[in-house]
Amino acid sequence: MYNIKNPERLAFIRKMIEERGIEEVFSLEEAKNKKIVEIGNNVNIKNGTVIGTDGWGYERNENDELEKFPHYGKVIIGNNVDVSANCTIDRGNMHDTIIGNGTKIDSGVHIAHNVKIGKHSRIGAHSVLLGHCEIGDFVDIWTNVVIKEGIKIGNNAVIGSCSFVDVDVPDNSHFISEHKKIIHDFKKK
């Protein structure tokens, strides 16, 4: 079995839990009441969207069991933002998840912990922005895109539909990943 273990990270997690505890949030109203979510003016959030819950963070311990990584950050949503139905926007773990003014998010999008999205960007349906991504201003991310953790997308960039982005994309660039090849032919033995 292949398991990634990071003893230093695990020690840090345990120290944070000892000092601050774990406080999970299960609804937008609860997140607002606990000041975990800040929502600007003229923000539209459609039904089924979940904002401010913990991201997906676990670390393997000495026995290969998973221990939860606590989340202490917020979700900060700017003004004039639209979030369509059935999206998830996780709170940050040690930093905040931020959505800039005027950004529009289509249905079924997942925005992980510590993601930062600039102003007036568009994110297409069923896209996934993994932890610590940084999206610039005036970016267009079309449908079914996956952006790997820690990737930076520059200002005015366009990410084509169904792309898997695992490299930084500079300002004013158009990125598309194409996989137009058969990787396995089941008829051949």
User: What digits encode the pLDDT tens for the residues 99-117?
Assistant: 999 999 999 999 999 999 9
The candidate with the shortest Cα–Cα distance to 157, out of 183, 130, 135, is 135
Average pLDDT of the residues in 74-83: 97
What mean pLDDT do residues 6-23 have? 75
Cα angle, residue 152 at apex, residues 148 and 156 outer, rounded to 5°: 120
The pTM of this model reads 0.85
User: What is the spatial distance between Cα 9 and Cα 24, in angstroms, rounded to a whole number?
Assistant: 20
The one-letter amino acid code at 5 reads K
Query: Does residue 138 carry a pLDDT above 70?
Result: yes
Query: What is the residue-averaged pLDDT of the chain?
Result: 87
pLDDT tens digits for 38-57?
Answer: 999 999 999 999 999 887 87
Q: Which of 95, 113, 126, 174 is catalytic?
A: 113
113 part of the active site: yes
